[in-house]
Amino acid sequence: MNSEMTVLKMSDDFGSAAYERFLDLCASRGCDSSPLGDGRELRIRRVDQETRGSSPHLDDGIHPQHAHTDESYTITGEEEAQTLEILASTENGVFRALCAIAMNPGPASGLIGTHIPVYPWRALSLDVARYQASPSEIESVIDLAALQGLSALHLHLSDHQSWRVPVEGFEALSEGGAFSWADLEELGEYARRRYITIIPEIDMPGHCASLLRTYPELSGRSSFAHPFVSYIDVHQQRSRRFLESCVDSLARIATGPYIHIGGDEVLGMPEQDYDKAITIMGDHAHHRGCKVMAWQEACRATFTADAYQYWMADEDIPSEESLLKEWPDEFASVAHQAAVMYAQCRDDLERIRSKGAALIDSRQSYLYLDRRYAERSGREGQNIRLRSLGFPGYEAKDSMEVLQWSPLERSEVAQGGIAGHTDGIEAALWTETVRSLSDMTMLLLPRLSMVSSLSWRTTPLRHSDAPGTSKREQVLTRIRRQLANSAGAWERFGYDDYYRSSSVFDGSAAPRTARPAVDK
């Protein structure tokens, strides 16, 4: 940090732990300037939670940690004043406030008010199997998640392309680029210092081509129609032991109560075998005292998970015709199986509701951040990179469309009978086309910032909105203003490769309203 530090005043040493962790984050990002600007005064004071209200989902939603934690905070002060004060009831709340201030280095008017998370579960899912991100790259994503006010990082540790996690009794899996236990423990501790919970996932019983390349005997058969539609044979004792050992690995990695057992897109596996695989993993996890999260398809199994990750809404279900166009003619039967499997997603919300499980909203239409941008970038090199970066199977969308999404207002949630009971949100970054941290940054920002902003509720201490504007319009206006300030903060913290969206920023990084992309 600069020699002219922000003057810090605390009551009863409250806030010192959060401030030290924040300084550690700044140092890790090579940021040498004060979050408030040199010479300004920051006060931190402990205030009971009741003075600011609480999240509408704090009591009946789910938290990625073992117990609900009050993350809310209030920031007081005058726009041009040299003093800001943070009011919070926990160190976590102080840390969230410090990150918010760091991400909004301009006028304080957008910060003054009470900030409460709409959902305790505010997560990013990061695929580290398709692109084998290094520990240092994951640390950079953890820092970004913290700065953006998220509470959890979901690590997708296995898939067809690679296997990244050690499994006891199956040590050969560790020879292909898997993390060491030391790597994973250090990542967990790094995340803990950022108030980020690690939710590890091993995706079973499908998505396992990398597993079967090393242990082909676990499939119980000589071949599959395609490597990407393979699955493990649950009738073998060794396979069942493998599934339980996967749970043991996940339990060792997790820094909270939740582990993720996968369960999505298992093509061709007999229903009773799929049910058995999910039940083996789920029961073993519960026996160990873990809470279980799974992709939405797992709600079709007998076992009931504690939470389901809902990723495919009705509008996202591909037709058989579109799948046949994507697959070569010799795989027409696979495309048909996929169409049948995806069609079952239409009833998953009702299944989840009937099980009484929690719902984590990860709908790909808005929350899959490997989707290509429809609008051009103000940095021409990014327009060139975008030709190969981003999953080509998704329709490109304008960044500003993220702000049209609200988990409490989506029609399909209401149709599923669970309106008002979405328990968390989770964006996802899949990495088929990613080759570097720079690529990840370009896909994540600015959209991750928008998702995070929508997951917090801010109550201004004084009203300055134009008369006649709706609450949602006020929220969107606030977010657009914040984006202009955040661009400079991203650069200061080392995330210079954010996408220079022509729909979000003009030449001076000022936010703009959404408009169709123009092909120049």
Q: Is 108 within 8 Å of 412 (Cβ atoms)?
A: no
Q: Is 80 within 8 Å of 51 (Cβ atoms)?
A: no
- Please, how many CA atoms are within 13 Å of residue 202, restricted to the half-sphere of its CB? 30
Helical spans, DSSP H, in 256-331: 271-287, 320-326
Q: Compute how many other C-beta atoms are within 10 angstroms of the C-beta atom of residue 106.
A: 16
Task: Please give the helix or strand (H or E) that residue 516 lies within, else none.
Answer: none
Q: From CA 115, how far away is CA 48, in angstroms rounded?
A: 14
Q: From CA 499, how far away is CA 508, in angstroms rounded?
A: 14
Q: From CA 367, how far away is CA 448, in angstroms rounded?
A: 9
Q: Name residue 379's amino acid.
A: R
DSSP secondary structure string, 207-221?
A: S-HHHHHH-GGGGSS
Q: Is 269 within 8 Å of 206 (Cβ atoms)?
A: yes
Torsion of CA 44, 45, 48, 52, to 10 degrees: -60
Best CA proximity match to 87, nearest among 424, 376, 386, 461: 461
Measured CA angle at 44 (ends 490, 65), to 5 deg? 70
Task: Kindly name the residue from 265, 320, 350, 412 that is annotated as catalytic.
Answer: 265
Q: Is 117 within 8 Å of 148 (Cβ atoms)?
A: no
Tokens of 451: 């998702």
3 state SS for 476-507: HHHHHHHHHHHHHHHHHCCCCCCCCECCCECC
Confirm whether 265 is a catalytic residue: yes
Helix, strand, coil % over all residues of the chain, rounded to 5: 40, 15, 45
Q: From CA 339, how far away is CA 137, in angstroms rounded?
A: 36
User: Which amino acids are annotated catalytic?
Assistant: 265
